[in-house]
C-alpha cells in the first residue's frame, strides 16, 4: 500500500526511464513468454471482473453516470469475452505458421514465428475507461509482452480502481499501471517502447506518433471521426430508428468512437425519420430524458461547454427539432435532433461525441456517398437500406474503418472482424486474433540445407550464369533444363 | 514546388475517379511492368553498372529478376487477394454476415534506396498497384542514372495519370514529406526513417519503414566440415557478393568460436580469391562503393590504430578509384564505430566467443537486426536462437536467399523497422482491411432497447456473453 508521500512522488522522465528499464529486465528474463504465464494472467483478469463487478459498475457510474446495463454488457462482458477467446485460442495463435517455398529456394522450409515485441505502452481513453484499458491489455498479454497501462485521467474513479486492482490480480512485475495526466503521459512518451497502443483523439494521436518516431516505435492509433448514418427509404423505419438510438444514446450517450455522428437522408424520408426518432426516444427515455437513469452524463464540464457551444451557434440553434435542453449542474444534455444544419457549422466540422444528432438532407440517396467521402475517413460508416445495389455501392465506395449495414456498432463485438480506423480515424486494428497480432512481431524463418548448391549464385559472374539465373528465377523448368544444356 | 501540389491534386482526382480500383487496370499495369523490365533489361544493366558497378548477374538476381517475379506473382494472384474474406459470426448476432474487404489507401509515396535502386522502388510499386493505389515514386538521388532512367521510362509503360516518378534531392524529399499521403513506404537508414515517420505523424499517415541494422552471422563448429566450402561461399556472397556489402541484408559481422577463427579467415580468403580473383580491384563481379561520402565513412571506420591492428586480411584502399579491398578484421573493440554502426561496406569483423552459445546474449543485448544468419546443425541451438533473439527474420544455413521467398514477410523489428512486404504482404501493406458487417431487419430483438428492466438486463447480459443455454432458460422462464 502506497503511503501518502509515495503517492505524491512525481512521475517524471527519470521515473519513467527506471520503470521501462525494470520492465525490460523482466521481459529479458523470459517470464512473460510462457504459455502458462499468459493464460494465468488472462484467467486472473476474468476473476477480477467477476469479483469486483460492483466496484467496476460504481466507478463507471462515478465517472460517467454510466447505466448499470451498459457497464456490465459493453465494458465487463465484452472484456471477459476477449479474455475467454484468447484463453481458448492462444495455443493456436502462438504456433508458428508454415509458409510455402518455391523452386527458387529449393530445398528449403519456411515458417513465420510470432514473438512478443517486448515492452509496450497502452494509453487508454475516458469513455469506455475499463474496456479500452483492458482489451488492448488482453492482446499485449496474449502476445507475451511486458506493459504499462496509462488509464485516462478524465475517468479518475476507473483509473484509480485499475491502479488498485491490477496489482492485486495481475503480475505486478510485468504489468504496471501509471496514473496521471499530461506530464506523466509525456514522461512515458519520451521512453523507448516496442509498441504504443493509443485510443483517443487525432490531436493527441499526432503527438503520440511523433514521439514514437524518435525511437522508430510502431503504433496503433484508435481514433475517431464523424461516423455517418445513411438512411434510405423503403425500410422498416421503426427498427432502423431504434437501432440508431441504441447505438447513439444507448452507448455512453453518444460519447463513443463509433457513435452515429450524423444522419444523411432524403427529403421525403427526413420528416418520417424525425417523427420516428421522437417517438422512440420518448419510449426509451421518457418525456423527461434529463432525468432518465438509462443515459450516461457528459463526462465533464469542458465537454459540456464544448457541446453546448455546438448547439448554441446561431445558424444551428434554430435547426433543433427535438431536445436541446440541458442541466449544467448535473452535466446532462437531452437527446437532441437537428435538421439541415449548414455544412460549415461547428457541429459538422468536428466529431460531436455527445447526444446531438444532426440530420442532413440530400436529393438522391447516392449523393450521400460523395458527401461522406469529401470529409476525412471515419471510424465507422452505417447504411440502412433494403436496396442490394445501394449496399454494394456503399461498401465499395465509402472508405471507413468499418462499415455496418442495417445496424449500429455491432461489428465491435465480432472478434473475426478487425477493429480500427483508416486515415484520420487511425491506423492498425485489434479484437480477437488481431489483438494478438497487434502486439506481435511475425518473424520470417527460412531453413536451408547444403544440398544442391548452385554455382550460378556466386561470383565470378558470367553471361552463362546470367542465362541460368534467368531460367531459375522464372521458375520455368524447361528454361532451366535448356539453360543447363547451354541452349537458351 | 507548385508543380507538386498540382501533381498531387491530379493524382487525387484520378484515385477518386475509381480508375485504379478495377482488376483490369491493376492487371494491365502489372503486365506493363513485366514488359518494362523485359524490354529494358540491357538498359537497366547499363544504369546499374553506371551507378553501382553492378554486374548483370547481380543486377538480374537482385533487381530485374525480383521485379519480374513479383509482377508475375501479383498478376496471377491479384484477383484472389482483392476478394473479401468471410469471418465467422457468433450465433448471438445471427442473422448477419461479416467480411473483411481490402481497399486501397489512396495516394501513396514510395521512397526508394540507392543500393538496389530498381528493385527497392519497383517491388513496393508492384504492391501499391496491386492494391489499387495511385503512386508517387521517389527514387534515390544517390543513384542518378537509375533515377533518370526510371523517370524517363516508367511513364512510357505505366499509366502516367496514376503513377508519377519525382526525382530530386533532400529539398524535394522535404517537400514531399510535408504532403498529406495515405501511406508512405520508405526504404533506407534509421536516421531518415525517423524523419519520415515524424513528418507522417503530422497527417497520421501510416508508414512502412524498411531499415537496416547490424545483421550478424553465427557460425557454429557443429557445421559439417564437408559443408564448410559452401558455407564460406555463402558468407562471402552475403558480404561482398551483393552490392559490396552495401545491402540491408548483408552480413554485417560474424560470431565464431575462438578456436575456429583462423580456419575461417583462411577459408574466407580462399573464397574471396575464387570469387574475385587475385586482384579484386579488377574484378567485374564486385560492386563499387557508392560515392565519396560513403567511401570516406568506411575509411573512417578503419582509421583508428586499434582497428587497423585488427585487420587480418585485405585493408588496402585506393582513394582515387574509391576502392576498398575485401577486408576482414578480427576482434575489433566492441565499442568501436565499426562494431556499433551498420557497416554497409566491404569490411567484415569477426568476433570470437568462448562458446558459440554466447552469441545469443551478444545479439540480444544489441538493437534488433533485420536478419540473423546462423550456420548450425544443432537443432536445440536453432530453437534457442529463434526464441531468445529477435530480428526481422532468421535464415539457417544460408544467406540472402530469404529475400527471394515470396511467402515470407520481409521487414524489420525494433530499430530495423516495422511493416513488411513481398508476395501478398506487399498487397496487404498498401491496403486498408475494411470490416463489413451486414445485418437484417428481421428478426428483431425487443430486449435490446430501453427502458431497461430485469428481464432485458438478463437477456442482453446472457446474449453478449454467448451464454445460449442461460438465454434459453431465461426465455423459458426458468432462470431468475
Contacts of B276 in chain A (CB under 8 A): 459-460
- Percent of chain B predicted with pLDDT > 90: 90
Beta bridge partners of B108: B135, B183
Cβ contact, residue pair A474, B68, below 8 Å: yes
Q: What is the pTM of this model?
A: 0.97
Report in angstroms the alpha-carbon separations of A257 from A243, B276, B457.
17, 62, 24
Instruction: Say whether the peptide bond before residue B451 is cis (omega within 30 degrees of 0).
Output: yes
DSSP-derived pairing of the beta strands A108-116 and A440-448: antiparallel
Per DSSP, which regions of A3-124 are E strands?
97-99, 108-116, 119-123
In this structure, the number of other CB atoms found within 10 A of the CB of residue A25 comes to: 13
Report in angstroms the alpha-carbon separations of A93 from A78, B239, B475.
20, 36, 36
Decide: helix, strand or coil at residue A169.
Answer: helix
Report in angstroms the alpha-carbon separations of B370 from A435, B123, B190, B211, B213.
24, 18, 12, 8, 6
Beta bridge partners of B134: B107
Cβ contact, residue pair A458, B452, below 8 Å: no
Residue from the list B233, B285, B406 with its beta carbon closest to the beta carbon of A461: B285
- Report residue A445: phi and psi, to 5°: -120, 130
Cβ contact, residue pair A473, B434, below 8 Å: no
A6 pLDDT higher than 60:
no
Q: Which residues contact A271 (CB under 8 A, 6 or more apart)?
A: none
Structural domain spans, chain B = 4-211+421-433, 216-411, 441-476
pLDDT, tens digit (0-9, with 9 covering 90-100), for A392-411: 999 999 999 999 999 999 99
Q: What fold is seen in the domain B4-211+421-433?
A: Aldehyde Dehydrogenase; Chain A, domain 1 (3.40.605)
Cβ contact, residue pair B204, A426, below 8 Å: yes
Cβ contact, residue pair A445, B386, below 8 Å: yes
Q: What is the CA radius of gyration of chain A?
A: 27
| Buried-state track B170-183, b at ≥16 Cβ within 10 A, e below 16 | eeebeebbebebbb
Evaluate whether the domain defined by B216-411 bears CATH number 3.40.309.10.
yes
Contacts of B277 in chain A (CB under 8 A): 460
Burial of A79 (0-12, 13-18, 19+ CB in 10 A): buried
In whole numbers, what is the pLDDT of chain B averaged over residues? 95
B251 pLDDT higher than 90:
yes
Q: What is the pLDDT of residue A8?
A: 57
pLDDT, tens digit (0-9, with 9 covering 90-100), for A48-100: 999 999 999 999 999 999 999 999 999 999 999 999 999 999 999 999 999 99
Residue from the list B87, B198, B398 with its beta carbon closest to the beta carbon of A417: B87
The pLDDT-based confidence of A467 (bands split at 50, 70, 90) is confident
B344 pLDDT higher than 70:
yes
* Contact criterion met (CB below 8 Å) for A419 and A431: yes
Cα distance from A126 to chain B (closest Cα, Å)?
Answer: 21
Q: Which of residues 117-136 of A touch B (CB under 8 A)?
A: 117-118
- Domains of chain A, start order: 4-223+432-441 (3.40.605.10), 228-420 (3.40.309.10), 458-488 (no CATH)
3-state DSSP percent of chain B in helix, strand and coil, to 5:
50, 15, 35
CB hemisphere CA count around A243 (13 angstroms): 27
The pLDDT-based confidence of A483 (bands split at 50, 70, 90) is low
Residue from B21, B57, B69 whose CB has the most chain A CBs within 10 Å, to mutate: B57
Q: Which residues contact B292 (CB under 8 A, 6 or more apart)?
A: B322
Residue from the list B18, B435, B438 with its beta carbon closest to the beta carbon of A406: B438
Beta bridge partners of A327: A332
Residue from the list A102, A396, A414 with its beta carbon closest to the beta carbon of B93: A414
Cα distance from B392 to chain A (closest Cα, Å)?
Answer: 6
Cα distance from A6 to chain B (closest Cα, Å)?
Answer: 33
d(CA B410, CA B390): 14
Q: Which residue of B has its CA nearest to A469?
A: B61
Contacts of B236 in chain A (CB under 8 A): 458
∠ CA A353-A430-A168, rounded to 5°:
90
Report in angstroms the alpha-carbon separations of B94 from B138, B438, B443.
49, 10, 9
Closest by CA to B119, choosing from B170, B179, B59, is: B59
The verdict on ipTM greater than 0.90 is yes
Q: What is the pLDDT of residue A488?
A: 40
The answer, for A221 touching chain B at a CB cutoff of 8 Å, is yes
Q: What is the pLDDT of residue B226?
A: 86
d(CA B8, CA B13): 9
User: Which cell goes with A357?
Assistant: 444528432
Instruction: Tell me the mean pLDDT in the region B166-194.
Output: 97
* Contact criterion met (CB below 8 Å) for A175 and A146: yes
Cα torsion angle, B464, B469, B470, B473, sign: positive
d(CA A361, CA A233): 13
**Greatest pairwise CA separation for chain B in angstroms:** 93
Q: Which residues contact B337 (CB under 8 A, 6 or more apart)?
A: B300, B301, B304
Cβ contact, residue pair B194, A214, below 8 Å: yes
Cβ contact, residue pair A110, B439, below 8 Å: no
Q: Which residues contact B239 (CB under 8 A, 6 or more apart)?
A: B245, B250, B251, B326, B346, B348
Contacts of B461 in chain A (CB under 8 A): 69, 72-73, 77
User: Which cell goes with B385?
Assistant: 536462437
Catalytic residues of B: 210, 248
Residue from the list A212, A214, A405 with its beta carbon closest to the beta carbon of B439: A405
Contacts of B364 in chain A (CB under 8 A): 28
A177 pLDDT higher than 80:
yes
Cβ contact, residue pair A416, B286, below 8 Å: no
Instruction: Tell me the mean pLDDT in the region A404-427.
Output: 97
Contacts of B419 in chain A (CB under 8 A): 218
Residue from the list A236, A280, A443 with its beta carbon closest to the beta carbon of B394: A443
DSSP B78-136: HHHHHS-EEE---GGG-SEEEEEEEEE-SEEEEE--SSSTTHHHHHHHHHHHHTT-EEE
Amino acid at each position: 500500500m502506497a503511503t501518502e508521500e509515495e503517492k505524491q512522488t512525481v512521475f517524471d522522465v527519470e521515473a519513467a526511464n527506471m520503470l521501462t528499464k525494470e520492465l525490460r529486465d523482466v521481459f529479458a528474463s523470459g517470464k512473460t513468454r510462457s504459455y502458462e504465464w499468459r493464460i494465468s494472467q488472462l484467467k486472473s483478469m476474468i476473476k477480477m471482473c467477476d469479483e469486483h463487478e460492483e466496484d467496476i459498475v460504481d466507478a463507471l457510474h462515478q465517472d460517467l453516470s454510466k447505466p448499470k446495463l451498459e457497464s456490465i454488457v459493453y465494458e465487463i462482458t465484452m472484456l471477459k469475452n476477449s479474455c475467454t477467446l484468447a484463453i481458448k485460442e492462444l495455443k493456436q495463435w502462438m504456433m508458428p505458421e508454415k509458409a510455402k517455398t518455391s523452386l527458387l529456394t529449393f530445398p528449403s522450409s519456411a515458417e513465420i514465428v510470432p514473438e512478443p515485441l517486448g515492452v509496450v505502452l497502452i494509453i487508454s481513453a475516458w469513455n469506455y475507461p475499463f474496456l479500452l484499458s483492458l482489451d488492448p491489455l488482453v492482446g499485449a498479454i496474449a502476445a507475451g509482452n511486458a506493459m504499462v497501462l496509462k488509464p485516462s485521467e478524465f475517468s479518475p474513479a476507473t483509473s484509480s480502481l485499475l491502479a488498485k486492482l491490477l496489482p492485486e490480480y495481475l503480475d505486478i512485475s510485468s504489468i504496471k499501471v501509471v496514473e496521471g495526466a499530461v506530464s506523466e503521459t509525456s514522461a512515458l512518451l519520451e521512453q523507448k517502447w516496442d509498441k504504443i497502443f493509443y485510443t483517443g483523439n487525432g490531436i493527441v494521436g499526432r503527438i503520440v506518433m511523433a514521439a514514437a518516431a524518435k525511437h522508430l516505435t510502431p503504433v496503433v492509433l484508435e481514433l475517431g471521426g464523424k461516423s455517418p448514418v445513411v438512411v434510405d427509404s423503403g425500410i422498416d423505419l421503426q427498427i432502423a430508428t431504434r437501432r440508431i438510438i441504441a447505438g447513439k444514446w444507448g452507448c455512453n450517450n453518444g460519447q463513443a468512437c463509433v457513435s452515429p455522428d450524423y444522419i444523411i437522408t432524403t427529403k421525403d424520408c427526413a420528416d418520417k425519420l424525425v417523427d420516428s426518432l421522437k417517438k422512440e426516444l420518448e419510449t426509451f427515455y421518457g418525456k423527461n430524458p434529463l432525468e432518465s437513469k438509462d443515459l450516461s452524463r457528459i463526462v465533464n464540464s469542458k465537454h459540456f461547454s464544448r457541446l453546448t457551444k455546438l448547439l448554441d451557434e446561431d445558424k444551428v440553434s434554430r435547426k433543433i427539432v427535438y431536445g436541446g435542453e440541458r442541466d449544467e449542474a448535473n452535466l446532462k444534455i437531452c437527446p437532441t435532433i437537428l435538421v439541415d444544419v449548414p455544412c460549415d457549422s461547428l457541429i459538422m466540422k468536428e466529431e460531436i461525441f455527445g447526444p446531438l444528432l444532426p440530420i442532413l438532407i440530400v436529393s438522391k440517396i447516392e449523393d450521400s456517398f460523395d458527401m461522406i467521402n469529401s470529409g476525412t475517413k471515419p471510424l465507422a460508416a452505417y447504411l440502412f437500406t433494403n436496396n442490394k445495389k445501394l449496399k454494394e455501392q456503399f461498401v465499395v465506395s465509402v472508405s471507413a474503418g468499418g462499415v455496418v449495414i442495417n445496424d449500429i456498432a455491432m461489428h465491435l463485438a465480432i472478434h473475426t472482424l478487425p477493429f480500427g480506423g483508416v486515415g484520420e480515424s487511425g491506423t492498425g486494428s485489434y479484437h480477437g486474433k488481431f489483438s494478438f497480432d497487434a502486439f506481435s512481431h511475425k518473424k520470417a524463418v527460412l531453413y536451408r540445407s547444403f544440398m544442391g548448391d548452385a554455382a550460378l549464385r556466386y561470383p565470378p559472374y558470367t553471361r552463362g550464369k546470367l542465362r541460368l539465373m534467368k531460367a531459375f528465377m522464372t521458375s520455368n523448368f524447361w528454361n532451366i533444363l535448356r539453360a543447363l544444356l547451354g541452349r537458351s | 514546388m507548385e508543380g507538386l501540389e498540382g501533381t498531387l491534386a491530379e493524382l487525387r482526382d484520378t484515385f477518386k475517379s475509381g480508375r485504379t480500383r478495377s482488376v483490369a487496370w491493376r492487371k494491365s499495369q502489372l503486365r506493363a511492368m513485366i514488359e518494362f523490365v523485359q524490354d529494358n533489361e540491357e538498359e537497366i544493366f547499363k544504369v546499374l553498372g553506371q551507378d553501382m558497378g553492378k554486374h548483370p548477374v547481380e543486377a538480374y538476381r537482385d533487381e530485374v529478376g525480383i521485379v519480374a517475379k513479383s509482377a508475375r506473382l501479383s498478376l496471377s494472384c491479384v484477383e484472389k487477394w482483392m476478394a473479401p474474406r468471410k469471418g465467422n459470426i457468433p450465433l448471438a448476432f445471427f442473422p448477419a454476415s461479416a467480411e473483411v474487404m481490402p481497399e486501397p489507401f489512396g495516394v501513396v509515396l514510395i521512397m526508394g534506396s540507392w543500393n538496389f535502386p530498381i528493385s527497392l522502388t519497383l517491388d513496393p510499386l508492384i504492391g501499391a498497384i496491386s492494391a489499387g493505389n495511385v503512386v508517387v515514386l521517389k527514387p534515390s538521388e544517390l543513384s542518378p542514372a537509375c533515377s533518370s532512367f526510371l523517370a524517363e521510362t516508367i511513364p512510357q509503360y505505366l499509366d502516367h495519370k496514376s503513377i508519377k516518378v519525382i526525382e530530386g534531392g533532400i529539398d524535394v524529399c522535404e517537400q514531399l514529406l510535408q504532403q498529406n499521403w495515405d501511406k508512405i513506404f520508405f526504404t533506407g537508414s534509421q536516421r531518415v526513417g525517423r524523419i519520415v515517420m515524424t513528418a507522417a505523424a503530422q497527417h497520421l499517415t501510416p508508414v512502412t519503414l524498411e531499415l537496416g541494422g547490424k545483421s550478424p552471422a553465427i557460425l557454429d563448429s557443429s557445421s559439417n566440415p564437408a559443408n564448410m566450402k559452401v558455407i564460406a561461399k555463402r558468407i562471402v556472397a552475403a558480404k561482398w557478393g551483393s552490392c559490396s556489402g552495401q545491402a540491408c541484408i548483408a552480413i554485417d559481422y560474424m560470431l565464431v568460436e575462438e578456436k575456429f577463427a583462423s580456419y575461417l579467415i583462411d577459408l574466407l580468403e580462399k573464397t574471396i580469391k575464387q570469387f574475385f580473383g587475385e586482384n579484386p580491384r579488377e574484378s567485374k563481379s564486385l560492386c563499387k562503393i557508392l560515392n565519396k561520402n560513403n567511401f570516406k565513412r568506411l575509411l573512417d571506420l578503419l582509421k583508428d590504430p586499434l582497428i587497423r591492428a585488427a585487420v587480418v586480411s585485405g585493408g588496402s584502399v585506393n582513394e582515387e578509384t574509391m576502392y576498398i579491398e575485401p577486408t576482414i578484421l578480427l576482434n575489433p573493440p566492441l565499442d568501436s564505430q565499426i562494431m556499433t554502426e551498420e557497416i554497409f561496406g566491404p569490411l567484415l569483423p569477426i568476433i570470437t566467443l568462448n562458446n558459440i552459445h554466447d552469441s545469443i546474449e551478444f545479439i540480444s543485448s544489441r538493437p534488433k537486426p533485420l536478419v540473423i544468419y546462423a550456420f548450425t546443425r544443432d537443432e536445440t541451438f536453432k530453437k534457442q536462437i529463434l526464441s531468445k533473439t529477435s530480428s526481422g527474420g532468421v535464415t539457417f544455413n544460408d544467406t540472402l536467399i530469404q529475400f527471394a521467398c515470396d511467402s515470407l514477410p520481409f521487414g524489420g523489428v525494433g530499430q530495423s523497422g516495422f511493416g513488411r512486404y513481398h508476395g501478398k504482404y506487399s498487397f496487404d501493406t498498401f491496403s486498408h482491411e475494411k470490416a463489413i458487417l451486414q445485418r437484417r431487419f428481421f428478426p428483431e430483438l425487443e430486449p435490446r432497447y430501453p427502458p431497461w428492466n430485469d428481464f432485458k438486463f438478463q437477456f442482453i447480459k446472457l446474449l453478449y456473453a454467448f451464454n445460449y443455454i442461460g438465454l434459453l432458460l431465461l426465455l423459458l422462464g426458468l432462470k431468475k
